[in-house]
């Protein structure tokens, strides 16, 4: 399988539009493309009889805050006919949109809405930029690495107003300190163990002679 993927990577790297950076990583075929080259590359991966990626399994995002183009948009493609998978990675920033793949695979609409919702990556040509996992009034994009773990608001049902209300996050208790000793080493005296504790202390020189 690895030799087959290596041959496919060489093919994509030399003969496919925008596929100059194709290689096998961790036993998987990975193609890196620019935003401009991505539409032609994805179309060719779907239509070329040597790849025939009929299905888009999903689209996901990765956030690399230290990079100028901090986001990777990752397309996971599957060829049922030829029994192989291709991963296409397109880098972008917070402002530049990536061309929508919904005209190539209609199901991409759902995945692109999810990437927009969670990472804030925009897709040019996507007809529906509504949020899909968070609420419509949600602020920010929760899978960005600079998004606070507690979020900005919390939601509760107000019994007096008979509706769901948003409020600033309030931590209802202090963060607890945890010790990571095993329960057998950390336990002191449990109810009913007073005698055993006394004998143990005496055997270690802590009791009366």
The token pair at 187 is: 């336990």
Strands of 84-92's sheet, edge to edge?
21-25, 28-33, 84-92, 71-79, 55-63
Q: Which of 42, 90, 99 is nearest to 69 (CA)?
A: 90
Q: What pTM, to 2 d.p., does this model score? A: 0.76
Neighbouring C-alpha atoms within 13 Å toward the C-beta of 192 = 0
Q: Tens-digit pLDDT profile for the chain (209 aa)?
A: 689 999 999 999 999 988 779 999 999 999 999 999 999 999 999 999 999 999 999 999 999 999 999 999 999 999 999 999 999 999 999 999 999 999 999 999 999 999 999 999 999 999 888 999 988 778 889 999 998 888 888 888 889 989 888 888 776 655 556 555 555 555 555 566 667 667 777 776 654 44
Domains and CATH numbers, the chain: 2-138 (3.30.460.80)
């Amino acid at each position: 399988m690895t030799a087959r993927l290596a041959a496919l990577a060489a093919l994509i790297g030399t003969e496919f539009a925008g596929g100059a950076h194709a290689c096998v990583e961790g036993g998987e075929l990975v193609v890196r493309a620019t935003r401009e080259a991505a539409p032609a590359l994805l179309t060719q991966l779907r239509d070329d009889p040597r790849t025939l990626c009929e299905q888009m399994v999903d689209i996901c995002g990765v956030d690399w805050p230290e990079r100028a183009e901090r986001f990777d948009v990752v397309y996971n493609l599957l060829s049922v006919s030829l029994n192989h998978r291709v991963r296409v990675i397109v880098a972008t920033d917070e402002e530049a949109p990536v061309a929508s793949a919904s005209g190539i695979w209609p199901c991409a609409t759902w995945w692109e809405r999810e990437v927009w919702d969670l990472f804030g990556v925009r897709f040019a040509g996507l007809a529906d930029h509504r949020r899909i996992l968070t609420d419509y009034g949600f602020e920010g994009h929760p899978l960005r690495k600079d998004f606070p773990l507690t979020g900005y608001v919390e939601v509760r049902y107000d019994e007096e107003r008979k509706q769901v209300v948003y409020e600033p996050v309030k931590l209802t208790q202090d963060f607890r300190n945890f010790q990571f000793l095993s329960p057998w080493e950390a336990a002191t005296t449990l109810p009913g163990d007073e005698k055993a504790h006394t004998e143990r202390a005496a055997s270690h020189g802590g009791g009366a002679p």
